Amino acid sequence: MQVAERIRRRILDGDLAEGAKLPPMRELAKAEGVAIATLGRSLDHLQVEGYITTSRRGTFVANAPSVAPSGYDRITRVLRTGTVLAEGETMIVTDADLVVPPVYVSEIFDSPPGDRVVRRQWHTGKGSVRTLLAVTWYPAHFAAAVPELLSISRGQGGTMLARIQGATGRRVIAGRDDLHGRDADAREAAYLGLRTGSPILAGAHRLWDDQGVIEYGEWCLPYRLVIGYEYRFDAVSDAL
């Protein structure tokens, strides 16, 4: 699993480009410091997930992966590269403003009802495929430290969380994702290139530090993409 995660990150970060041929098994196993059998199991994981394909010519990075980054993938990519976007992925921000949010969003940020927060709506794509539609919310005072939060200019959206951390000194230390399957409404279907009522995977995430929630987001993926997570139970095992 650790080897698969390292190769997966190289693909998502663009170190291994779409269509690129992976080194021969023996060479790759030596570079990873594992036995060939262990590498084979790692590549099996990546093939099932849709990151790579195999043929008589060798093993290649898939040209059109059927997977989407998880919330964990995106936040760890911010820590590594400064952006939430995978290699080749684009972002378009369609709305960015200070708004009075729904009551449940006010409660998430522990702000009085009626106080404004930053709301940003954006979508991502890769080639001709729309991969995500999202709305993210931030405390209003973040806009003073990061004016770009209220901008829809191209080229800045993917780095917003890194900009917030740099400008405010706050650092995400934990997060939570909640997922559910449902039908797309008209707005979601239009942005994702689907028919209204098509199945989608919808979710919400919270990222926080000791001072409270830094980012809250709601998002959805088209039905043809797969999202995956890994787990570690070290702390639980130690407690037991």
Q: Are residues 77 and 51 in the same domain?
A: no
Q: Which residue has the tokens 């901008």?
A: 151
For the cut 90, the answer to whether the pLDDT of residue 130 exceeds it is no
Classify 232 as helix, strand or coil: coil
The domain that contains 32 carries what CATH number? 1.10.10.10
| 158 within 8 A of 202, measured Cβ to Cβ | no
pLDDT range class, residue 116, cuts 50, 70, 90: very high
Specify which residues 93 forms β-bridges with: 122
| Candidate from 19-28, 77-86, 199-208 with smallest mean pLDDT | 77-86
* Within a domain: 239: no
CA-CA distance, 59 to 23, in Å (whole number)? 8
Q: What does pTM read for this prediction?
A: 0.72
Q: Are residues 82 and 143 in the same domain?
A: yes
CA-CA distance, 97 to 70, in Å (whole number)? 26
